């Protein structure tokens, strides 16, 4: 995890709690298997969620590793640093990273708060009872056997 940033206070200097949209990147993250390319709503609730790198160049280098797992996106599914779409101000919208073997995943949003559709104010009917984040938990169960 040497490529991971430190997670520090949000640029707003406040606790942020809202729904945001993020994109799942193509990484070796075990928990995100089969989810690459998905753009999903997720609950955010933290005061210290900003990914802080030593420099913008260090953040660019991290992106090149292919281990950035999740990023905040705007309505056009483009990565964003703009508040409130990126509630903590993380460089390049980075909000999740994984280890090289994919077994460790660090992320600041809260998929455990939106894995059932009853946790959303609205959802497409085709989702049924399980929200798209349920796949993360299914992947974990498959991985541990």
**34-61 residue pLDDT tens:** 999 999 999 999 999 999 999 989 999 9
**59-80 residue pLDDT tens:** 999 999 999 999 999 999 999 9
What CA–CA distance (Å, rounded) separates 108 from 49? Answer: 6
Residue-level pLDDT at 3: 81
What CA–CA distance (Å, rounded) separates 109 from 17? Answer: 10
Evaluate whether 99 touches 121 at the Cβ level (below 8 Å).
no
* pTM, 2 dp: 0.93
Q: Which residue segments constitute the domains of the chain, with CATH numbers given?
A: 6-111 (3.40.50.880)
């Amino acid at each position: 995890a040497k490529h991971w940033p430190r997670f520090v206070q949000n640029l707003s200097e406040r606790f942020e709690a809202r729904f945001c949209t993020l994109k799942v990147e193509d990484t070796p993250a075990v928990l995100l298997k089969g989810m690459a390319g998905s753009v999903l709503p997720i609950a955010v609730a933290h005061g210290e969620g900003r990914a802080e790198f030593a420099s913008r160049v260090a953040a660019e280098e991290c992106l090149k590793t292919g281990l950035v797992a999740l990023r905040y996106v705007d309505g056009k599914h483009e990565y964003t640093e703009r508040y409130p779409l990126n509630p903590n101000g993380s460089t390049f919208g980075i909000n999740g990273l994984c280890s090289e073997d994919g077994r460790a995943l660090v992320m600041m949003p809260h998929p455990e708060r939106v894995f059932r559709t009853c946790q959303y104010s609205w959802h497409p009917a085709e989702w049924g009872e399980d929200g798209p984040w349920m796949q993360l938990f299914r992947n974990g169960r498959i991985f541990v056997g």
